[in-house]
Structure 1
């Protein structure tokens, strides 16, 4: 995998809106934060556009993203928010200049589609908070964690043990994102080769029966038989029907992973909540799940 260069003061970064629309002037705090890091910030022309629920037409959003990918001065691309729309752009994206000048992609949720595109072209990316959420009320670990990984490459994590964990250790390449979108990517040209993957999953506002169905899909598609380990992030605002499903999210995941021996680490703070720790997708790492804590440690780049 290709690791883009770490950022340094004076670098130019771009903010684009490949998915849902954002309100006018909603990026002021994010721009101030990025500028305080010493970065030059370029706002895409269509960032504040609106076409139905998306930030402009497909052509407008594509043009902004493509321009940021092609410009060698741009060292990182921040997606303003998720929502819906990124997947509509994948087949039209051109990679000639991205591969000549690899750069970081930052985002989560619907941006999982773009993480898959970066991964398919063997470029690392960062699953982290987005500019719409970068404001003075955001937890320090969310903002400073992103700054640290972009400027120093340090994104190792340790977190508390969960009674739902399955102990063990694994080595592999970290990748993942939103569970629904991972499921939607199966059978497409952007589906990763899961053979050497430590998979991260998160979800928001889903019914338990649908989470179960998504896990069934991963199992039937052979994903769970191939991955090396599983890191479970935030499952936020989980819903249930009046006739309850009967199992917790942890129990659903445990059931569908029961036939496999890979370690499972629940409770990682990433997803659709204010505390959102960054993850470097495409980077080799070691997952350790012990009786006292879980840890992700990245291997040094060669």
Structure 2
């Protein structure tokens, strides 16, 4: 169960002086990386312009998740987004690969000029909170 505050925890998400979005209220897209990529090429692929891309995954290993980032780049996603919010990548954490994956995310961010934030509140455990997509 959640209340209004739980659902709106992302409205004030700010780290390092960067606001999540240039908009007054950020609009988030994404979710589970592998599931999100299944929308590519379909009418359900969202408009990414000026949005914050949220990514998380329960089961993906490092190599598969890096491949997913490469696919997002090929789709032109990184040219459009205002930022990337990285949630829990459960299997990568178990494999000790979280830092390496975050380094890859930051590399894309540096090349395309958007900030990357991390949170433990998006994913598949008891700390996870709801967030509005779209």
Say yes or no: TM over 0.5: yes
Unmatched segments (≥5 aa) in structure 1: 1-142, 283-302
The residue aligned with 1:256 is 108
Give the alignment partner of residue 173 of structure 1, picking from 23, 27, 49: 27
Q: Distance in 2 between matches of 1:225 and 1:271?
A: 25
Q: TM-score, normalised by structure 1?
A: 0.38
Q: Kindly name which structure, 1 or 2, has the bigger radius of gyration based on alpha carbons.
A: 1
Q: Any conservation in 2 of the 1:231–1:268 contact (CA below 8 Å)?
A: no
Q: Where do residues 133-148 of structure 1 align in structure 2 (5 Å cutoff)?
A: 143=1, 146=2, 148=3
- The structure with higher relative contact order (CA 8 Å, sep 6+) is 2
Q: Distance in 2 between matches of 1:252 and 1:192?
A: 23
The residue aligned with 2:42 is 188
The residue aligned with 2:9 is 156
Q: Any conservation in 2 of the 1:159–1:268 contact (CA below 8 Å)?
A: no
Q: TM-score, normalised by structure 2?
A: 0.79
Higher helix share: 2
Deviation at 1:260, TM superposition (A): 1.6
The residue aligned with 1:211 is 65
Q: Distance in 2 between matches of 1:200 and 1:173?
A: 10
Q: Distance in 1 between matches of 2:73 and 2:7?
A: 33
Residue aligned with 1:227, SS: coil
Higher alpha-carbon deviation: 202-211 or 230-239: 230-239
1:200 aligns with 2:54: yes
Deviation at 1:167, TM superposition (A): 5.5
- Residue correspondences, number: 127
